[in-house]
Every structure is written in C-alpha cells, then in structure tokens.
Amino acid sequence: MRKLDRRQVLLSIGAAGAGLAAGAVPEFLRGTDATTTPRHVRKAAHTVRPDPGYAHGQPLQALRRPIHNLHDLQPAAPPNAVALTIDDGPHPVWTPKMLDLLAEFGVPATFSLIGTQVTEEPRLVQRLVADGHQVSDHTVTHPLNLPNLAAARIREEIGGAHDRIAQVTGVAPKFFRSPGGAWSQQIIDVAAEHAMICIDWQVDPRDWARPGTMTITDRLLRAQAGDILLCHDGGGDRSETIRALRTVIPALKQRGLTFVAL
C-alpha cells in the first residue's frame, strides 16, 4: 500500500463523503489493498437527538457529553434495539473468533479499533467491514490518560486512527470512543472535526478484567432496550467474553431485543 500523508487522506475523504456512505472505494484508495468495495453499505450520517446536555440543532462541536443510549441517535433505532460494541482490536486470535460468533448468530456490531493494530492487521479489518460490521475510532495507541495529553497529541491520537481506518477499509469511521471512557471537551471537539460522534456505553461487564464467564454473562443479561453494551476482542485472552456472548446473544433475542450497529 502506498503511503498517503494525513492531509491527502482528509481532503480525499471530504471530497468522497457521498461515495463512502454508499460503500464505494474513493479514488485515493484505488491501487491500494482496499480495492474491494465492502458488501455492507454504510448507514447515512447520524445526528443526535436533543437532550439536557445540548440544544437541538447545535453543531457536533457543541456536544458536552458522549452518547450512552441508542435512543439519543437519529435515525432512530427500533424501540427494542440494543447495540453491541467491541473494543481494543483487531486481534489476530480473538477478532476472528468474535467475527465467527457474530456471523453464527447474525449479529452486527461496532468495533472500536486501535490504529496501530489496524496497520498490523489490515486484512482482518477488511474482513470485519466485509462481514457487515461498523468501525469506530479508538485512538492510535489507546492512551488511558487521553484528556491529560498535549493538544497536538490528542489530535494525532484521534485523527491518526481515523485516517488509518479509512486507508485500510475505504470507510471513514462515524464514531469515536475514548479509551477507558475518559472524556474532555477538547476530545469531543477534535472528534467532531472528523465528523465523528462520541460514544460511551450503558452496560459494562468489565470483561477486560476477566472476572469469569458467568460474571460477564450475568452483567450483560441486565441489558435493556436502547442500551449500548461494551465488550472486548483485544487486550488479552478473550475466551471468557466469547463464551459469555454465546449465551447472552440468544438470551437477549429471546427477550425480544434486536441487535443493531450504531
């Protein structure tokens, strides 16, 4: 893949926004590894419902907090929907296992990707998009102290991951999740400069700590309609998460909940 500088990426993404939304590979990616148009057509750009944190019609830069619930997004998700988000990948072992599981149950998910790992596992990221899943920016190196970093570093962490994902997949991420859920207004503003909405979560089983399959299962089963669920496919052994989801997904479906991407 030929190397593109960040300015070229951003200018090209802006010019090809409509094509990206339709799943097309923009001109600047032709001749690279991302020459196959993803089968999954990206959703139209989301807007945000008004809530006490901000007024209706304000630009993204004016948001004062990330999104925790599907019902805060437009177009509206089905009233019985939940969203499964999966962080810290791609991982060469656990991401394929996660993708196989989701394919088995027909569940779309939103993967929050770390930029350095996107560069290391480009074909895995391309598979993720081709399988119909959504991509989210999760910074270049996953710094848990992101709000305390210098402004230039924050911009590079957010913008750098955004550009790497776009280069590899042909899909500009529409969402950003800060590592550890650590937020500041500056982080939200920088994400907005890249046309990304900040997302958090409602249900956190703390699977990253490997508390045991039953504990992860019990915590995820507390999900209610509109909740955003947090799981992980990177950062270590995720066998407990895989086993838990094998129980949780059919159980939530049996309760009448529908899984959607953000």
Q: Which residues are catalytic?
A: 87, 232
User: Which SS3 state, helix, strand or coil, does residue 96 take?
Assistant: helix
Contact 170, 20 (CB under 8 A): yes
Give 242's contacts (C-beta < 8 A, 6+ positions apart): 94, 97, 98, 101
> What separation in angstroms does the CA of 35 have from each of 26, 31, 163, 174?
9, 7, 16, 21
- Cβ distance 241 to 89 under 8 Å? no
Q: Cα dist. 214→24, 104, 206, 219, 244 in Å?
A: 42, 21, 12, 9, 7
Given a contact cutoff of 8 angstroms between Cβ atoms, the answer to whether 68 and 58 are in contact is no
Structure tokens at 230: 């947090």
